[in-house]
Amino acid sequence: MDDPRWLTPEQLHSWIRLVSVVELLPSILDAQLQRDAELTHFEYFTLARLSEAPKRTLRMTALSAATNASLARLSHVIARLERRGFVERTPCLEDRRATNSSLTELGWRKVVETAPGHVATVRDSVIDVLDQSDVADLDRIMGRILSRLDPTNRLRSWGAE
């Protein structure tokens, strides 16, 4: 710790820009979704993962892995979404500790009607400023970073290396 191996100017510059994106991006996504659908980005992301699952159903643990969330956080969020009628919880028969959460018809319609606006925001704020090779670079770099951030590799579904 005596020699912290300080960052080079280039590394520091990149780092600060990354931190800025990490700080600013969530509020952009939250603002649009809140305005147009009264959802946080995390709520939308959760509904979206469910909508892609077989039978639009996942166990809490699987869903928490797919969304990078702790079980505690997910439990609170699912409770809110359940109150609003977007999600349903049912006990799992094979493992009676487990809970399945599944998208209701209302939840499915919510995702379908919310997706276009969200995608437009993602394009506007990120994707459309990048050309094809930028996208490839971004993918490679985020993959490398994720391999450190997510050592248990819960994200293997979309390949954190």
Partner DNA sequence: GCCTTTTGGTTGTAGCGTCAAGTAACCAAC
Partner DNA sequence: GTTGGTTACTTGACGCTACAACCAAAAGGC
Residues of this chain that interact with a second copy (CB under 8 A) are: 1-2, 4-7, 10-11, 13-26, 28, 45, 68-69, 115-117, 119-120, 122-127, 129-130, 132, 134-150, 155, 158-160
Contact in structure between 128 and 120 (CB atoms under 8 Å): no
Nearer to DNA, 132 or 152 (CB): 152
Name the strands in the sheet holding 99-103, side by side, starting at the edge strand that comes first in the sequence.
57-59, 99-103, 87-91
- Is 154 a binding residue for DNA by CB under 7 A? The answer is no
> What gap in Å lies between CA 136 and CA 142, rounded to an integer?
10
Nearer to a second copy, 38 or 137 (CB): 137
**Shortest approach of a second copy to residue 74 CB, angstroms?**
12
> What gap in Å lies between CA 35 and CA 125, rounded to an integer?
16
- Is 70 a binding residue for DNA by CB under 7 A? The answer is yes
Residues 71-110 that bind DNA (CB under 7 A): 71-80, 89, 92, 95-99
- Is 31 a binding residue for DNA by CB under 7 A? The answer is yes
With H, G, I as helix, E, B as strand and everything else as coil, classify residue 68: coil
Say if residue 121 is exposed, middle or buried (CB neighbours under 10 Å; 0-12, 13-18, 19+).
middle
> Of the listed pieces 14-22, 34-42, 117-125, 146-154, which binds DNA according to CB under 7 A?
34-42
> What gap in Å lies between CA 116 and CA 149, rounded to an integer?
30
Residue 24, amino acid:
L
Q: Which residues bind DNA (CB under 7 A)?
A: 27, 30-31, 34, 40, 42, 59-61, 64, 69-80, 89, 92, 95-99
